[in-house]
Amino acid sequence: MTDTAAQSSEQGEERAGRGSGQGGERAGQATEQGEERAAQGTGQGEEPSAQEQLRERRAAAHRQARRTLSRAGWGSTIRERLAYLTEAGSGVYDLDEPADVYGNRIVAALEERVAALLGTEAAAFFPTGTMAQQVALRCWAARTGNPAVALHALAHPEMYERHAFSQVSGLRPVRVGSGPQLPTAAEIRAFDEPFGALMLELPLRDAGFVLPTWEELTEVVEAARERDAVVHFDGARLWECTDHFGRPLEEIAALADSVYVSFYKSLGGFGGAALAGPRTLVEEAKSWRHRYGGMIFQQFPTALSALIGLEHELPRLPEYVRHARVVAAALREGFAAAGVPWSRVHPERPHTQEFQVWLPYEPDVVAEAAVRQAEETSVMLFANAWDGVGPGIAVTEVVIRAAGLEWTADDVRAAVRDFVDRLPDKA
């Protein structure tokens, strides 16, 4: 069952890992939207395009800026990331313990920690969220006898996973709900064909990191259960939702039959994900994880970074969410005072630590202004890419982490004035 090239000692470890429920899974390369674009390089011998040059300038400005509203740890150097792993990791796990082999030791400890946080019977570590969710929904389809998965048109699998549900997993995604919010209970009840599972992305990233109210969420879950469907939460950023819902993680997770969480989106880990739910589902998922290629020999760096995130970042997320609302209000005030003819912060009161900013310019215009501001002042207000969402309308995402807490409302308003000075006059 192992690689024929593996040494006998490794074979024994692998068998031990299988006995403890370790496995692998399938494909699904779904990185964050901006990071995925940044990872796409130019062809050999080709001159970089204007967009690629701008992306390189933005990355350089981000590294060198003395002050950045949204500073992500993944943009650090390898040396910095390794130093962080060693220094912070010593406080959350015994670094003198043997490293994991096929998912035991530190990986098993991480799985136990996640299950305890989410209040589920068990959890399984996966190298990617794409893999975790395909496996979960495949297992549910086998149990319900229905491969149809109901999900919003803006859900991550529909936007970024190259039709992996249908091409790899034999699932049939069906789109339910309309508008830039999750499906309502009425839409679930009125949907005109049966489905085996309802997948809800919390928050719905491409709609602006939006969440329903707690009452709306419970009604949607009830509507799905009325149709004999299971409910799966795409909770990549579920960690950020407690302030909005006013509920602890375990109470939120208890609404669903299974939950996926990410370790790098909110927690700053190196990567990885977990699937949490009933023990029988998790054990079955581990078998499929192995079949999909997710039984990796050693994963201690990713697992350790996840434990660090759970220890240090998770407790701070409610503070990030609350400060995101301060920043959002200051951005609105700043653009209005600077005379920008139309702007939008969405949601007006952010539901999580992340939100969108919309401006009445072409994306390349605002992107250039954002990069020049950082290059000329060493202050970076907008660190993420800008996309077009209509003629003459650009949108970007703002994410508040530890660095953002250092920005007062006055700081944000001043940076907005300086940024607007670099935009063309629209009078």
161 plus 263 within the same structural domain: yes
pLDDT of residue 74: 74
Q: Is the pLDDT of residue 17 over 50?
A: no
343 plus 405 within the same structural domain: yes
pLDDT of residue 84: 93
276 and 118 Cβ atoms separated by less than 8 Å: yes
216 and 183 Cβ atoms separated by less than 8 Å: no
Inside any domain, residue 207: yes
pLDDT of residue 406: 97
Phi, psi of 203 (to 5 degrees): -80, 165
274 plus 328 within the same structural domain: no
Inside any domain, residue 197: yes
Q: Is the pLDDT of residue 196 over 80?
A: yes
104 plus 218 within the same structural domain: yes
Tens digit of each residue's pLDDT (9 = 90 or more) over 135-193: 999 999 999 999 999 999 999 999 999 999 999 999 999 999 978 999 999 999 999 99
The encoded tokens of residue 13 equal 């470890």
25 and 132 Cβ atoms separated by less than 8 Å: yes
Give the confidence band of 426 by pLDDT, cuts at 50, 70, 90.
low
Inside any domain, residue 38: no
Tens digit of each residue's pLDDT (9 = 90 or more) over 105-137: 999 999 999 999 999 999 999 999 999 999 999
Rounded to two decimals, what is the model's pTM?
A: 0.89
What is the DSSP code string of 235-254? ETTGGGGHHHHTS-HHHHHT
379 and 395 Cβ atoms separated by less than 8 Å: no
Nearest Cα residue to 24 out of 14, 12, 33, 39 = 14
Measured distance CA(342)–CA(330) in Å, rounded: 15
124 and 21 Cβ atoms separated by less than 8 Å: yes
- For the domain that residue 64 is a member of, what is the CATH number? 3.90.1150.10
| Identity of the residue numbered 272 | G
Print the domain residue range for 350.
Answer: 50-76+316-420
DSSP-derived letter for residue 48 is P
% of the chain residues with pLDDT over 70: 89
391 plus 327 within the same structural domain: yes
369 plus 279 within the same structural domain: no
Q: 323 in helix, strand or coil?
A: helix
